[in-house]
Structure 1
Amino acid sequence: MAANGDPLVPALIIFGDSVVDVGNNNNLNTLIKANFPPYGRDFITHRPTGRFCNGKLATDFTAEYLGFTSYPPAYLSRDARGNALLTGANFASAASGFFDRTANLYRAIPLTQQLNYYREYQTKVVNLVGKAKANDLFSGAIHLLTAGSSDYIQNYYINPLLNRIYTPDQFSDILMRSYATFIQNLYGLGARRIGVTTLPPTGCLPAAITLFGAGSNECVAKLNQDAVAFNNKLNSTSQSLQNKMPGLKLVVFDIYQPLLDMITKPTDTGFFESRRACCGTGTLETSLLCNARALGTCANASAYVFWDGFHPSESANQVLAGSLLSQGVSLIS
């Protein structure tokens, strides 16, 4: 049985960081939240939900494209109960990453704890529909993972305890081990359709240019090189995991190139501003700094690739979701 009673609509399970958090951080004692205006101003309800965006996330569009009539609820929210769980659940937490210590720095939910919540979720689903149907739901569900950006920008690059001890190459090896363990655990819990996104061009995020660009207005080449090296490892690690696990469909979604294209050739996809974000000055603001009093916030976010210093606008998310869908046909079929 699939969600909504429709055999074509599998459940959607989401893990990761702020790019896919739909409100779990609202329920945590953390400063990394987006549950206040102007976040959510262009969302269906025109109210903030905890999404780090002016409107929908790429995963919201993906859910719509797959035929969902509602979005998988934030697991820590009041919406995550009863039959709502049959459409899936969202365990993502802003400022989380592959490296649990990144999440711990910001009091976010580490990936290992997101997996514990998933185990708890599975028990609830078994209680709702019985073991056989629940197992069908888990094996048919699409599991999406988006992580890694926070590990670099909010930890490695600013943390001398890490960047003096480990080269970027060594640090990415640590992240790969966490990733491989996570996939193996998820597979052990019955997941058979898993998608993971690459790192974006981290050196082109407005906040990264402000923090690490040494006064330049260009993408920070070093950060992008690190992201490309990480993505290459993600591809080879994923290939070897898929080879080892019978019946596993593991798709690596490239968001690096589609986002880089939007940033370097914005007018090709209908944007005019890709260097500055919409919120505030557009150079750094995210979370608390992107608030209703932030001066300079743009009137029309659809012309901007970035909503805040770290996160794409709803319009950019829609373009990304289209790209994800075309790359993920094998996950759905």
Structure 2
Amino acid sequence: MRFSSCLVASVVYLLMEVYVVNGQPLVPAMFIFGDSVVDAGNNNHIKTIVKANFPPYGRDFLNHTPTGRFCNGKLAADFTAENIGFTSYPPAYLSNEARGNNLLIGANFASAASGYYEATAKIYHTIPLSQQLKYFKEYQAKLVKIVGQSNASSIINGSVYLVNSGSSDFVQNYYINPLLYKVYTVKEFSDIVIKSYATFIEELYDLGARRIGVTTLPPLGCLPATITIFGSDINECVKKMNEDAVSFNNKLNDTSLILQNKLSGLNLVVLDIYQPLYDLVTKPSDNGFAEARKACCGTGLLETSILCNKKSVGTCANATEYVFWDGFHPSESANKVISDSLLASGISLVS
């Protein structure tokens, strides 16, 4: 692991010791919106093929049990919850765990294969962000019944909100959908997605959110599946897709700054996952990894969701050596590095 990564990890634990007092988290609760990178099992409860509630998913998670997380173990959001003092994770809102006092630590509304662009979720019969917001409104009503209006408002206003979305809009929709790429340039489509992002943040703000962390797009061209599908038989990151991601991320930063200035009391922080993941992919050995081109599951070239199953031939024995668990999603070990790298930029959300 590089010196900088070790330094970040040291800062993480120092901050935890300094800020997490008497076993209490730094914020009242944590709310999560977005796609498969943060879905903790909501897709288990809807009619879609985009699921991960079967082996080998979850083989390194608590009790070696698949939960619907698109990973062998913990998500970056899980590590983030731990880093800010939570001893359990916000439950998937559609799960049986999301009831009673379990709701006091927040909830996870994310759904794999959803995006800022409303139609992306419709294609895969998953939960669009508009519906995730409706569930959040429903959650608030339940919270009021548990703790009363005043306490509920304090929880809603004082909590941290994580938003991870946008990748599916490009990889699982735009790049493969002639109804989009033949009509819009990637720049035009990015503008449409950014407009949807701004609308979502404003609506989340109107519902009481004040501390919002939103992730950038990752290096889309470096995902094992995108290299396989779009890489023209060259086992390297697809440059054009990475350029598209960087362009989108620049717009995300600019738009977030506008929103920050527009909405009184909003603390909106853009959390860069592009560079940390790009560094893991391009310099895996510097970060303690052995393999970055292939994922652990199956051949490691494409398998994701139902294609990544207990019969997938070639699945690795030790996922800690791999940057990616399946064709689209980082391994638990990579998620840990990514989460730790985000703490410094996101510390204003919890302090």
Q: TM-score, normalised by structure 1?
A: 0.98
Deviation at residue 326 of structure 1 after TM alignment? 1.5
Question: Are positions 1:281 and 2:299 aligned together?
Answer: yes
**One-letter amino acid of the structure 2 residue matched with residue 12 of structure 1:** M
Task: Compute the displacement of 1:45 (Å).
Answer: 1.5
Displacement of 1:311 after TM fit? 0.1
1:85 equivalent to 2:126? Answer no
Between the aligned partners of 1:41 and 1:181, the Cα distance in structure 2 is: 38
The one-letter code sitting in structure 2 at the alignment partner of 1:57 is L
* 1:310-332 Cα shifts (integer Å, max 9, x gaps): 00000000001101111101111
Aligned counterpart for 2:266 among listed residues 219, 244, 248: 248
**Which amino acid counterpart does residue 151 of structure 1 have in structure 2?**
D
Report the RMSD for the aligned CA atoms in angstroms.
1.1
Aligned residue number for residue 203 of structure 1: 221
* Mapped pair 1:316 → 2:334: yes
Matches of 2:28 and 2:250, distance apart in 1: 29
Structure 1 segments of 4+ aligned residues over 6 angstroms from their partners:
none
Question: Is 1:129 matched up with 2:129?
Answer: no
Q: What SS is found at the alignment partner of 2:232?
A: coil
The equivalent residue for 2:276 is: 258
SS in 1 for 2:97: coil
Match of 2:17 in 1: none
Residue 9 of structure 1 contacts residue 68 of structure 1 at CA under 8 Å; is this kept in 2? no
Deviations 1:182-211 (CA, angstroms, capped at 9, x unpaired): 111111111100000000000000000011
2:231 matched to which residue of 1?
213
Counterparts of 1:190 and 1:118, CA distance in 2: 11
What runs of 5+ residues in structure 1 fail to find an aligned partner? Answer: none
**CA–CA distance in structure 2, aligned partners of residues 323 and 182 of structure 1:** 26
Q: Does 1:299 align with 2:309?
A: no
How far did residue 100 of structure 1 move? 1.0
The aligned runs of 1:138-287 (5 Å cut-off) are: 138-287=156-305
Judged with a 3 Å threshold, the aligned counterparts in structure 2 of structure 1 residues 277 and 53 are, in CA distance, closer, same or farther, namely same
Percentage of pairs with the same residue: 68
Could you report, residue by residue, the CA deviation over 1:211-255 in whole angstroms, capped at 9, with x for unpaired residues?
Answer: 111111010001000000000000000000000011100000000
Question: For 2:64, what is the secondary structure of its paired residue?
Answer: coil
Q: Do 2:280 and 2:323's aligned partners in 1 also have CA atoms closer than 8 Å?
A: yes
1:75: which partner in 2? 93
Do residues 116 (structure 1) and 134 (structure 2) align? yes
Amino acid at match of 1:122: Q
Q: Aligned partners of 1:195, 1:8: CA distance in 2, in Å?
A: 15
2:152 maps to a residue whose letter is A
Counterpart CA distance in 2 for 1:90 and 1:71 is 9
* Counterparts in 2 of 1:249 and 1:159: CA distance versus 1, 3 Å: same
Q: CA deviation at 1:108?
A: 0.5
1:102 aligns with 120
Q: Counterparts of 1:188 and 1:38 in 2: how far apart (Å)?
A: 40
Q: Distance in 2 between matches of 1:84 and 1:173?
A: 38
- The question of whether the paired residues in 1 share the 8 Å contact of 2:25 and 2:85 is answered with no
Give, as a single letter, the amino acid of the residue that structure 2 aligns with 1:222: K
Give the Cα–Cα distance (whole angstroms) in 2 for the partners of residues 124 and 73 of structure 1: 14
- Give 1:103 shift: 0.3
Give the 3-state SS of the residue equivalent to 1:45 in structure 2: helix
Once the two structures are TM-superposed, the CA of residue 67 in structure 1 deviates from its matched residue by 0.9
Structure 1 position 6, deviation (Å): 3.6
Question: 1:240, 1:8 → 2: CA distance?
Answer: 27
Answer yes or no: is the 8 Å Cα contact 2:216–2:271 preserved in 1: yes
1:41 corresponding residue in structure 2:
59
Please tell me the residue identity of whatever aligns with 2:215: T
Q: Residues 25 and 84 of structure 2 are in contact (CA less than 8 Å); yes or no, is this contact kept in structure 1?
A: no
**How many residues get paired?**
330
Q: Which deviates the most, 319-328 or 101-110?
A: 319-328
TM alignment of 1:53-64, pairs within 5 A: 53-64=71-82
CA distance in 2, matches of 1:324, 1:29: 33
Q: Cα distance 1:301–1:87, how it changes in 2: closer, same or farther (>3 A)?
A: same
Question: Conserved in 1, the CA contact under 8 Å of 2:25 and 2:86?
Answer: no
Query: Counterparts of 2:312 and 2:84 in 1: how far apart (Å)?
Result: 36
Q: Which whole-Å CA distance do the structure 1 matches of 2:73 and 2:313 have between them?
A: 20
The answer on whether the counterparts of 1:96 and 1:109 sit within 8 Å (CA) in structure 2 is yes
